[in-house]
Amino acid sequence: MFNLINPSRIFYWIEKLINFINSIFFVILIIALTFALILSPPDYLQGDSVRIMYVHVPSAWIGLASFTGIALFSILNFIFKIKNLNLVSKSIAPIGLLFTCLAIITGSLWGQPTWGTWWVWDARITSMVVLLIFYILFILSHKLIEQESKANKVSNLIAIIGLINIPIIRFSVDWWNTLHQPSSIKLDGTSSIHPSMLLPLMLMLLVLLLYCALILLMKYKTEIIRIKKKNIKRI
């Protein structure tokens, strides 16, 4: 099965996928932005600052999902020693960091007009900052530790420990009193967002996911090139 992911053949597929995403990305981006900025209505309470949500919510989701992915890959890698997974999680990490930062920054920008403050230390926001720290630790462990096998071990451990934080972030708004509102879209699929606002939200999610896929593929390609340079024939 893992023959499929052999460096010489995967290049061809990565190139093809990157080209495909590039060809549709800007079209979908323009459609999503039109819906998010022009066609969707303002909120009855927040007015136009509701539009920040269209970036904030998908960013937070991607930040959480990326870390969950990294942690699951780390567990698999720890048990079965599949080295390829290290490359994948190494490529996901910067994306997750970027979107976690984005979620925190856009949240702060939204908090000022809505709550009346840029920053509070409530459970949701604090646990998001903890997630940010875990991302930074994960990336630093790859940058600072020279020996690759050691770096992989340390980063895997960081990811597995950080996995505990994910359900805490998700349920922080239900378990404790927080200033942050509870989730609008529940796990069972019901949503308290009006359909005219849900559509741009989902479109923006699609755009950001495509962007993630693009960056992931490019990062993954770079990692493979780095390995090829070391004259290792297979991963």
The footprint of other proteins (CB under 8 A) covers 41-46, 50, 53, 75, 78-80, 113-117, 120-123, 160-161, 163-164, 168, 176-179, 181-184, 192-194, 196-197
Separation between Cα atoms, residue 4 and residue 144, nearest integer Å: 31
**CB closer to other proteins out of 42 and 218:** 42
- Closest distance between other proteins and the C-beta of residue 171, in Å? 11
Give the nearer residue to other proteins in terms of CB position, either 75 or 227. Answer: 75
Compute the least distance from the CB of residue 189 to other proteins, in Å: 15
Dihedral over Cα of 137, 88, 95, 170: its sign? negative
Distances (CA, A) of 144 to 123, 132, 136, 192: 31, 18, 12, 45
Residue 177: other Cβ atoms inside 10 A: 7
CB of residue 89 to other proteins, shortest distance in Å:
16
Of the two residues 90 and 124, which places its CB atom closer to other proteins in the complex? 124
Please check whether residue 8 is in contact with residue 229, taking contact to mean a CB–CB distance below 8 angstroms: no
> Could you tell me the smallest distance in angstroms from the CB atom of residue 213 to other proteins?
28
Residue 15 or 182 having the CB closest to other proteins: 182
Q: Can you read off the two tokens belonging to residue 88?
A: 């994948």
Q: How far is the CB of 157 from other proteins (least distance, A)?
A: 9
**Residue 134: CB minimum distance to other proteins, A:** 13
Instruction: In whole angstroms, give the CA distance from residue 8 to residue 71.
Output: 27
Residue 33 φ/ψ region, left for φ over 0, alpha for ψ in the -120 to 50 degree band, beta for the rest: alpha
Kindly tell me which of 42 and 232 has the beta carbon lying closer to other proteins. 42
Nearer to other proteins, 66 or 74 (CB): 74
Between the alpha carbon of residue 97 and those of residues 10, 103, 119, 132, the distances in Å are 26, 10, 19, 7
